[in-house]
Structure 1
Amino acid sequence: MCKKISEATPRDSVRGRVSAAVTLRHFLLAAMTWGVLLAAGTAHATISCSVSGNGFTSVYDPISTVPNDNVSSVTINCSRASGDPTTTTYSLASTNGLYPQGQNNRARYSTSNYLKYDIYKDASYSSRWGPSGSAPFTGTLNFGSGTSASLTLPYYNRVSAQQSAVAADYTDTMTTTLTYSVTSGVNATATPATMPVIITTNPQCQFSTPPGTMSFSYTSFQTTAATGSSQFATRCTSGLPYTMSLGATSGTLLGLAYSLSLSAAGGTGTGAAQTYSVNGSIAANQVGVCATSACTAAAPQTLTISY
């Protein structure tokens, strides 16, 4: 009897180990199934958005008294799976470019030559478009029953008037960042879009103050010359050399010979007004022609800037 009992014990032990191994395999299989289901739930939301824009180019006249304004646009494109939300909220921010100064964007030609420009969200140029947290575009994009949607947002560029500038291409790069909702409480950020800015300044000159009338008072046979002067001002692109000339440097009125000259033959533009004068004289001891006690006469003259 003792031998039978001792032979039965090892067989029972083997059965116990086999049963335990089977139970362990079932546990591992259950754990693997749970892991696959969890991963599938996390990957369900598939809303994806991108942003693109072309930046803007502008030809700037630095001597104009009005700002240089133009409009450009940026586009948001989004897609979703059929089971995803039908709307996504967005926030589209813009940097102040590579060379900002305070709130102003600046395009650069060289380390000492910049042009200020600003970006606005509205055609009245009252609401700036700026970085996240200050002045981004915000809103909701609606897919409706579709799986894709897009939105084009215009933005408005202003280069302020009468900045000192050389004739050159001024460049900058704006960067826009799009943040959008994927599901409730979950946001994603699209790859930032870079948009080039090119502001071309052409050489320009103008009379910011034109010359006025030069008047002489002369009495026949007077022993001293009569003189007169009229001031004017030019405004030319910075660094731009220019010359000035009169259509005539002499003439005759009422039988009196007169001469004209300029205070300078030319200059180099600074972007600001530069003042000169036209000077004139009537030599002494001239008789003149006048049948009454007093006579008047006038003649137009031409002043030209060449650059």
Structure 2
Amino acid sequence: MLGWYMKSNYLKRVAIVFVMGTAVLGTSRLLYAATVTATMVNTVTVNNSCTVSASGFTTTYDPLNANAAANQDVTASISTSCSLSVPAVITLDQGAHAAAGSTDSTPVRRLSSGGTTPVFLNYSLYKDASRSTTWGNTPATGMPLVGTGSTANSSVYARIPSGQNPSTLGTFTDSVVVTVTY
């Protein structure tokens, strides 16, 4: 009988431990039953953006034969990339060797032979293939565009007028600053 009593006592203890464990677990669930929340606000600002690159023209001018009576027409190119739907305008400054009387809206551009006593060749840059609309350095004389989010290429139509006979031979250059305003 003592064996049964010990077994019964053992079972009672296990039952008590089980009931107490369940009570403790139930209590701990009650301790964590409430919740609170917060909202995290994430913000990204997308700025308008444009990039630009330019490739000038290279040509040969023959003052005695080919260009004695015929203009030398060539093209250059400008590549732009602007954010989607961003309105912009591409302007070209007067160049590093602008002639007297040159203005941003009516540039008188010149190519220079360089050196201490430079010699010049006149030339013009245009927005159209017929070379009738000068490309200047003002919003009104610049080339408008609307960004597509992709690269857009614009042709620059150059003309070196015929009949120029410089006293110096060699390479003539000019640097024109291309600006995209958006």
If the length of structure 2 is used for normalisation, what is the TM-score? Answer: 0.66
Residue number in structure 1 paired with 2:143: 137
Separation (CA, whole Å) in 1 of partners of 2:139 and 2:86: 19
Post-superposition offset of 1:61: 0.8
Instruction: Please tell me whether residue 169 in structure 1 is matched to residue 168 in structure 2.
Output: no
The amino acid across from 1:98 in the alignment is A
Letter in structure 1 aligned against 2:181: T
| Match status 1:59 vs 2:63 | no
Alignment correspondent of 1:107:
111
Establish whether residue 70 from structure 1 lines up as the match of residue 71 from structure 2.
Answer: no
Gaps of 5+ in 1: 1-36, 80-85, 143-147, 181-307
The residue identity in structure 2 corresponding to 1:118 is S
CA deviations on 1:24-54 (whole Å, 9 max, x unpaired) are xxxxxxxxxxxxx8xx76x612332100011
Distance 1:49 1:175 in 2: 16
Match of 2:124 in 1: 118
1:281 maps to what in 2?
none
Report Cα offsets for 1:159-213 as digits up to 9, x if no partner.
0111121211011101111012xxxxxxxxxxxxxxxxxxxxxxxxxxxxxxxxx
Question: In structure 1, what is the Cα distance between the partners aligned to 2:161 and 2:73?
Answer: 9
CA distance in 1, matches of 2:138, 2:69: 33
Distance in 1 (CA, whole Å) between partners of 2:62 and 2:125 is: 19
Percent identical pairs in the alignment equals 27
Q: Distance in 1 between matches of 2:178 and 2:54?
A: 9
RMSD of aligned alpha carbons: 1.8
- The letter for the 2-side match of 1:167 is L
**In structure 2, how many angstroms separate the alpha carbons of the residues matched to 1:98 and 1:92?**
18
- Which protein has greater RCO, CA pairs closer than 8 Å, 6+ apart? 2
Taking the aligned partners of 2:151 and 2:142, their CA distance within structure 1 comes to 18
Higher percent of residues as helix: 2
Deviation at 1:56, TM superposition (A): 1.1
Structure 1 residues 129-176: Cα deviation after superposition (integer angstroms, max 9, x where no partner): 11023410002123xxxxx31211111000011112121101110111
Could you tell me how far apart the structure 1 residues matched to 2:129 and 2:160 are?
14
Q: Distance in 1 between matches of 2:165 and 2:119?
A: 9
Letter in 2 for 1:75: S
User: Counterparts of 1:134-283 in structure 2 under 5 Å?
Assistant: 134-142=140-148, 148-165=149-166, 166-180=168-182
2:9 corresponds to which residue? none
Describe the SS at the equivalent of 2:163. coil
Misfit runs of 4+, over 3 Å: none
Of 46-55 and 119-128, the range deviating more from structure 2:
46-55
Structure 1: distance between partners of 2:159 and 2:73: 5
Matched, 1:50 2:54: no
Query: For residues 112 and 76 of structure 1, what CA distance do their matches in structure 2 show?
Result: 33
Q: How many residues align?
A: 130
Find the aligned partners of 2:140 and 2:124 in 1 and give their Cα distance: 15
- Aligned partner of 1:140: which letter? V
3-state DSSP class of the match of 2:113? Answer: strand
